[in-house]
Every structure is written in structure tokens, then in C-alpha cells.
Structure 1
Amino acid sequence: MSRVEVPPISAVVRAWCPDWHTHAMATSEPRLAARVDALMTDAWVLAAFASAVNGEPLSEEHGAVLGAAGLAERVSEGWRLRPDHRAELAGRPDADAFPGRIGRILRQAADAAEGVPARPDGDDDAVFTAEGRNSGAQFGEYLDLLAARLPGVGGLLRSEGLRFLDVGTGIGAIAAEVAARVPGARAVGIDVQPRALRLAAAHLAERRLDDRVELRLEDVAALTDAGAYDLAWLPLSVIGTAAAAEALPRIRGALRPGGLLISATALRGAPEERGTRREAVLRWRVDRMGSTPWDAGELAARLVMAGYVDVQEVRTPPHAMALVVARAPH
């Protein structure tokens, strides 16, 4: 078998920019090659970490990568993730989905690097399903947070016969979470992707909730239900700007008087995050995916303009989605 040579990143940069070394020597800025090398190394460390969370034994080379990054330790049987990292991952309901999520983000980054348009439906069914299960578990955490922070939410989630609208239902895991936790609750999950509804039907049947969740191939921008729901969920990550603008008044009309809308955006808009590298990357990812680029402040302002009342942002843990809640007027 012929040997595959792995060129150092400096060689890659030299081929692209032959005068990089002369330029770097003539300026006080960090050398381009060194910065690219550091970024490339970070990407490989992330991949190494994601592939280690399943607890399988690590090769010497794999473990050494994580050890050098402070993420793993050498034990008698070889390398393994640090105990504090293992404990944190074990306590999360989405631990099984973590490798797939990191892989998906790295594939999206690779597409961006090569100028390939974003592929919103590019995940295979297994990854799509794992992401959906994670979304359902995360939504359960959001409900617990809102019940603890906002008057009336706890009572709403104990209301037998609650009606729930799940926009961008995916595999139906969020609708299933509400149906499972609220006695007698019924939900409607809408999505514009036939594949999502096919996977949702299977997921709901597996959880024996298919008789309490109705699935529709429907765009929220064309929603015509009136006064039908006590609770609705609108994640901006699954719809474009035009659809989101149209969705706000339509969901308000679909809610019963006093009904609650929970909306979410990845762009928190917190003062301490503005202008940071993380926020800039999030905004680029949102733009590439064609999602709605409203931060929490803009989302709240648009809800007020759309006629909602009691609009407020609910603080979430750092790096979590920002939640903005609002009610339909009485």
C-alpha cells in the first residue's frame, strides 16, 4: 500500500499564497500560516472529542490528541475522557446525539469552505432522528424553566386537554414531549418536509402517541386555524424571514385568548456577546441556512408589533437558545 503524505498546513498556505512568509516577516501580525494551523488543529480536536464520548477505548494517537488538549487522561488501560467530562456528558439527555451534531457542524463548515450552498435537509435519517430526539428533551427542559420562572405556566402544563401547536415539528419529538407530560393533551405538528413527517409518524408510533398528535404538511405562513391552541412553539431556526414575519400574526390568531407562544432564536443579542467571534459565526450559519436572523430583542419587538401582549425574554443558560414568550390578547 502506498504511503499517504500529510502536508503541514504551512505548505498548504504557501501553495495558496507564495509570499506569505515575506509578508509575515514584514509585519507584527501573527503569521497567517500559524493562525490557520491553530484553527485546523482545533477542528481535529473537536472531532476527536466527539468520537470519544461513546466510551469506547481510544487508540494511543487518539487519546494523545485529547490529552494534549486537556480533555482526556491516561489510565491503566489507556486513554479516556476526564471524569468530570464523562459525568457531565452522562447527565445530558442528548449525549448519544452529540457526535452526530458535531459531525453535522463540521460538514456544514466544510461546505462553507468550498463555497457549497447549505443543504438544510442533508442529514441522513439517523442523524435527523437523533437531533429531533435531542430537541424534544431540550424542550422539556425549557418547559421546566418556564414553569419555574413564569406565573401560570405550571398550571397551563397541568391543564388536561391542552392543545399544542408545534411549528417545524421535525420528527415530532417536541409535540410528543407535550403530549406525554400533560394529561389528555393533543398536539398538531406542522412541517414543510415530507421526510420529516414520515419520520415523525414512526417516532410517534414508537412512543404510542400517534393517536394524540396530528401531523400536517403545512407552511406556518399559510396557517388558518383560529382560536384553537393554548400553547405554541416557534423556533426561528426552522423558517426563513418572510415566513417568520407572516407566521407571527397567524399564530396569534391560532391561539386562544391568553394562549402562550414560546419562540426561540439562536441569536441571543446579549450585550456581552455582540461583536464576539461566536456571535459572528452564528450569524453566518443562520444566513447560510436561510433562517430568520432576528436576535431576542428584535423578536420581542416584532411580537409586540404583531399584537401580542406580556412579551418578555426568559433568561436561559449561556450558549442556549434565547427564549421569548408572549400571549395572545384576551
Structure 2
Amino acid sequence: MSVSPESATPSADLALPLGEDPVAVLEAAVWAMAAVVSTRRQALSEPLADALLRDPQRTAVLESVGLVRRGAHGLVVHPSLDGPDEATARSAVEAKLSSLRQAVAAAAGDEAGTPEGGWGAQADAVLLNQGRASAATGRALAGRIVPRLAGCAERLAAEGSRILDVGTGVGALALALAEGFPRARVEGIDVLERALNLGRDELAAAEPAVAARVSLRLQDAVDVSERAAYQLVWLPAPFLPEEALRAALPRLAEALAPGAWLVAGTNPVAQDALRRSVGRWTAVRGGGNSFDTAHMSEELESLGLVEASTFPTVPGGPVLVAARRPVR
């Protein structure tokens, strides 16, 4: 069986119909997501065509939601089932597994991940899965976004250039940036000591030459006091409480060298009410905020940063908002 690289775009008649028993349909949708994650996970170790053939009932579920269809020369799959590279695909699987685990915890009334518990109440496995998934964003930032930011790649090619990774967690994104910019030093800060300890283990298992240029420290973004120090600042905005985010943004803008860039990860503006409301719930439940891409652009411009631009990353992933400190 072959798998066509064409896009199997779901048609309008495959939109999720809630019908007379919407709860049953939503329960089935959870299982459809399980089929997606299971298939993608299996495809990490064997060809996607083999993974689809291995479990025809599971593949039929994917067909029912339009992610797979039968073409003249074999199965045609939607691009979201087939990652552009193994590292990105693995990160995506880890992220979706983490999301499913958090959904189960919410259904069970688990306080972990609520504003009261925050990320500090999550299990180590959740922190590792969520953190490792962020490496895909780091690779996208290094390979596709920075080259499009005026002067940024040149600055980061200089020996001793510095990158600040806010909310570094287990350090996966910091490692991806250090790998992408072999002359830069990446400084990761986080408020959760347990995540940093996990990150130090991740550094110890990484390529020594890359890990040597990554440092992790316990620090709140609102306490960043350096001025004109960094050539790039990365900010995963959805993970910060709104009060902390508003307090940190001016500090981070001042930490930029003149002409340097701040890049903030934001949640994309969903086109449907379900994803918008789920996005707000999960962000606030995790102790974060409900800022979207447009709101973040406005905030950066209000701080005097210029040339604000937005960039998508991977399908379903964050949208990056970049703005630079003016050169005076």
C-alpha cells in the first residue's frame, strides 16, 4: 500500500456533526484524537503506510474525519499525519500525548495544571513531554524565522552573542537554539526549580559541545534587570500569568540590544468557538493567560518595539510574533 503526498483536506460534509447526542459525538472525537496520536507514534519507527495498514479499524477512524482517503494509487493522507522530519514528528507526538493526559486530569478533577497548582503541580513526565515538544519551535525559530529577521542571523553568528530563553522548562528549546546558532550562548530562566533540575539532566545527555553553551538558572522574567544584553529574546507568552507577562514585557524589551529582536510564541486565533474557548481554558488552567497573536503584537508595539511581524510554525503550533528594538 502506498501513501500519496497529496493533501487529504477534509471536505465540508466531514465537519463534526453533533446531532441529537452531542456528548456521544464528542466522546468519539476523543478516540479519533487517540487514533491520530497512536498512528503518528507508530510512524516514528516504521513507514506511515505500514502503520496505517497495521490497524485497519484505526485507519477507518482517520478516514471518517477526513485525515485519510482512498485514492487511485493508494491512501492519501493529510499533511498533519506526516511530519516534515523525525525530530518535529516526535515533538508533535509528545505534545499531543501531553495534551491528552492533561485533558484526562481535568476530567478527573485533578488540580494539577489549574491556576492554583500551575505547572509546578504537573508530573515530571508532563513537564518532560511538554518541554521536549518545544524543541520543534526552537528548530523553526532557528531555521526559518531568524533568517527572516533583519540582522538577527548576523548578530547570532558573532562569537559571544547571547540568547535569553524565558520559561526554559527542561531546556529543550534552549538546546535547539544552541544547536542552530553554534557561536551563541543560550541562557534559560524559569521559576520552577524542579523543571530546571530535569533540564540539567537533559543537558547532561545532550551533545557536550552544544550543552556547554547552555546555562539554566532560577529566575522570574519580571526580575530580568540586564539592559541591552541580548541579541535575541524568546518568550513563550501563553505560559506566563497575565500579571507576570505585563510586568515582564518592559524588562525584556530593555534587555534587548539596539536592533535586536524579541520573539514571542502565541496561541493562534482559532476560527471556531470550540477551539477559542478550549484555548482560553487550557491557558488559564495552566496558570497562563489568554493573549492571542493580535494582542501580543499590540503589546510589543506599545513598548516602542518596531517592525512587528507574525510567523506560523508547524500545523496547529504557535504563531510567533517578532519585533525589534529600534537602533538609535
Structure-2-length-normalised TM-score: 0.76
Match in the other structure for 1:145: 144
Q: Do 1:49 and 1:66's aligned partners in 2 also have CA atoms closer than 8 Å?
A: no
Q: Do 1:228 and 1:256's aligned partners in 2 also have CA atoms closer than 8 Å?
A: yes
Shift of 1:103: 3.2
Distance 1:40 1:319 in 2: 21
Match in the other structure for 2:15: none
Deviation larger for 273-282 or 34-43: 273-282
Distance 1:59 1:143 in 2: 33
Distance 2:37 2:121 in 1: 20
Match in the other structure for 1:260: 261
Shift of 1:148: 4.4
User: Residues 59-116 of structure 1, C-alpha deviation per residue, up to 9 Å, x if partnerless?
Assistant: 9996413324326799xxxxxx967479814734233344443333223223333444
- Provide the alpha-carbon RMSD of the alignment: 3.2
Larger RCO (CA within 8 A; separation ≥ 6): 2
Inter-CA distance 250–46: structure 2 relative to 1 (3 Å threshold): same
Q: Do 1:93 and 1:134's aligned partners in 2 also have CA atoms closer than 8 Å?
A: no
Match in the other structure for 1:54: 42
Distance 2:54 2:144 in 1: 42
Distance 1:40 1:131 in 2: 24
Distance 2:57 2:144 in 1: 39
Q: Do 2:258 and 2:326's aligned partners in 1 also have CA atoms closer than 8 Å?
A: yes
Match in the other structure for 2:164: 165
User: Residues 280-306 of structure 1, C-alpha deviation per residue, up to 9 Å, x if partnerless?
Assistant: 221221122221211111111111222
Which structure 1 segments of 5+ residues have no match? 1-28, 75-80
- Aligned with 2:87: secondary structure? coil
Distance 2:26 2:324 in 1: 44
Shift of 1:191: 0.5
Match in the other structure for 1:39: 26
Deviation larger for 134-143 or 245-254: 134-143
Q: Do 1:225 and 1:253's aligned partners in 2 also have CA atoms closer than 8 Å?
A: yes
Match in the other structure for 1:292: 289
- Aligned with 1:51: secondary structure? helix
2:249 aligned with 1:248? yes
- Aligned with 1:94: secondary structure? helix
Match in the other structure for 1:103: 97
Match in the other structure for 2:214: 213
Which structure 2 segments of 5+ residues have no match? 1-17, 114-118
Distance 2:68 2:300 in 1: 46
User: Residues 216-240 of structure 1, C-alpha deviation per residue, up to 9 Å, x if partnerless?
Assistant: 1111011112222111100112211
2:276 aligned with 1:282? no
Indicate which of 64, 67, 76 corresponds to 2:60: 67
User: Residues 267-321 of structure 1, C-alpha deviation per residue, up to 9 Å, x if partnerless?
Assistant: x23xxx4453222221221122221211111111111222323223235565331
Letter in 2 for 1:165: L
- 5 Å-filtered alignment, 1:172-183, equals 172-183=171-182
Distance 1:66 1:260 in 2: 44
Shift of 1:41: 1.1
Name the larger-Rg structure: 1
Q: Do 2:156 and 2:184's aligned partners in 1 also have CA atoms closer than 8 Å?
A: no
User: Residues 113-154 of structure 1, C-alpha deviation per residue, up to 9 Å, x if partnerless?
Assistant: 344434224554345334323312322112322244333233
Shift of 1:37: 1.0
Inter-CA distance 112–257: structure 2 relative to 1 (3 Å threshold): same
Letter in 2 for 1:156: R
Q: Do 2:94 and 2:132's aligned partners in 1 also have CA atoms closer than 8 Å?
A: no
Letter in 2 for 1:323: L
Letter in 1 for 2:59: L
Distance 2:154 2:54 in 1: 54
Match in the other structure for 1:17: none
Distance 1:181 1:314 in 2: 18
Distance 1:305 1:244 in 2: 14
Q: Do 2:140 and 2:313's aligned partners in 1 also have CA atoms closer than 8 Å?
A: no
Deviation larger for 130-139 or 182-191: 130-139
Inter-CA distance 110–190: structure 2 relative to 1 (3 Å threshold): same
Inter-CA distance 68–318: structure 2 relative to 1 (3 Å threshold): closer
Q: Do 2:242 and 2:289's aligned partners in 1 also have CA atoms closer than 8 Å?
A: yes
Inter-CA distance 82–97: structure 2 relative to 1 (3 Å threshold): farther
Letter in 1 for 2:62: A
- Equivalenced residues, count: 290
Structure-1-length-normalised TM-score: 0.76
- Aligned with 1:69: secondary structure? helix
Match in the other structure for 2:236: 235
Match in the other structure for 1:4: none
